[in-house]
Structure 1
Amino acid sequence: MMDAVRLAIIGGMLWAAGAAALVFGVLPPGDALAIGERAWPILLFVVAMTVVAELAAAAGLFGVCAAWLARLSRGHGWLLWGLGVNAGPLITPWASLATLLWHQRLVADGVHIAWSRFALLGAVAAPLTIAAAVVPLAWR
């Protein structure tokens, strides 16, 4: 895992590269502002999710969930791994390249599904899918 100093150096180099692109005219200022307007909400979301994940990890939430699911699986942890890999993209469309590609194909074929609707439907389907897959593991 990278330490804070290394991350700060990389971040500084990226800022310097961006500034150089502006100074030498590689990136017009209007384009830079447009990129900033699009990227700002995403960066804010990433920071917020990082804080939430760190707080959950510090509280031991991930360990508790993993231990509970490991007990439920009765030694079949590899099945839980497969379940998480396949059910996770139901809620987080960006977690799977296949999901992103399928959405692109749907749009190309004239079927429009908003990402918010996709995530909402996934939030309903994922717990049902996970429950349907984990409960039989508990009975093995």
Structure 2
Amino acid sequence: MGARAFSFTKIVVADLDRAVSFYRDAIGLKLLSRFVAAGGDYAQEEAVMAARGRRDGPLLMLIRYLERPVPPPGAAWTGFAVDDLRATIDRVRKAGGKVVVPTHDLPQYAIRVAVVADPHGHLIELTTPLDKVGADGGGGGELC
């Protein structure tokens, strides 16, 4: 038997408060809980976030190691489907993130996509369906 469902992604950060603020303010996730977990070399402070503010879907877990160095960012990407790509990118910039791959269409997948980085340098792919993008680019962001 295989996996029943996708459950969570964990991202290691240096500043947990800043990471929580970014994913709340720029991406719109809701903070569900915050706690210290495990002990020894893997002791960590952890913040659990979700798009719908509930635990019944995929979770983003931001962790700060208490006794280990922070690994370099960029080894993995997190992806979010958003309703308004342009507005989300504006919030990313205001929250200290930056665009690393400008918006572009992937018609074979029927999406408009951009890749941004959070303040720690972790990559986030943002997508919106092409059928939600108006003639003026509204909802999906302008192509670069």
Which structure carries more strand by proportion? Answer: 2
Computing the radius of gyration from Cα coordinates, the structure with the larger value is 1
Which structure carries more helix by proportion? Answer: 1
* TM-score of the superposed pair, with normalisation by structure 1: 0.23
* TM-score of the superposed pair, with normalisation by structure 2: 0.23
